[in-house]
Amino acid sequence: MNILFAEDDESLGKLIFHLLKKAFHRVDWVKDGQSAYDYALFTDYDVVILDWMMPILSGIETCEKLRKKGFKGGIIFLTAKDALEDVVSGLDSGADDYIIKPFKFEELAARIRALSRRAEKPFEEILAFEDIQLDLTTRVVKQNGQVIELSKKEYELLELLLRNKHQILTREVLFERIWGVDVDITENALDALVKLLRKKIDLPGKPSIIKNVRGVGYKLRDSHVV
């Protein structure tokens, strides 16, 4: 399951982000409504968790904009607002669920699981491109049925590319998603990681599965290229 968590409170955000990653593995954390909107349009999230009061765009505004853009994933509000009119307003904006602060993490996890069960479409468990399959549940990658051993960073890079197979992922986005912000690594780290992954998944005599978009970033090559 792929989750986007939007919360501007640093201490609460760190705690919930850590617990979400332990429970659901693939989680991104942003700290304002505009970033939540941008991320949700860029990546295929199964569930978006929105704090009500955030900078730039509020949770309500973010939710409304996402639904107008056709976002089909689940949306859960986290808020201290407990008046009936606030609950109604949140649900009417397009949210699927509403949790009042303070709350226990077990409740949030249960709401996420419940939302996954009643979703219109099952959450994607297998990501595939040509002869490559990535199982999000077991974190096993196979090519033509054979298991490929990947490092943690190689797996994360491949997952990002597979989730966004029709889009270019900029270098900035890849650095942030794989290494995080404010991490002291060189510009060459991404290129080196791509090179390592290519050695494991590219087939002899065929163009690389990973295409370098010069000056921008990387994407999966078009599947019809031979």
Written as one string, the DSSP assignment of 119-163 is -SSPPP-EEEETTEEEETTTTEEEETTEEE---HHHHHHHHHHHH
Rg (CA), the chain: 19
Give the residue ranges of the chain where pLDDT is below 70: 82, 117-124, 181-183, 223-226
pTM flag (> 0.75): no
- Res 175: pLDDT: 86
* Tally of structural domains, the chain: 2
Domain boundary among 61, 90, 117: 117
Q: What is the per-residue pLDDT for 181?
A: 65
CATH number of the domain residue 212 falls in = 1.10.10.10
What pLDDT does 87 receive?
Answer: 77
pLDDT value at position 182?
64
Quote the pLDDT of residue 117. Answer: 67
Does 179 fall in a domain?
A: yes
Query: Is residue 225 one of the residues assigned to a domain?
Result: no
The whole-number pLDDT of residue 185 equals: 77
Give dist(CA 54, CA 59) in Å, integer.
6
Average pLDDT over all residues of the chain: 86
Domain that holds residue 94: 2-117
- Assess whether 147 and 200 both reside in one domain: yes
Q: Which of the listed residues 100, 117, 134 is the one where a domain comes to its end?
A: 117
pLDDT value of residue 148: 92
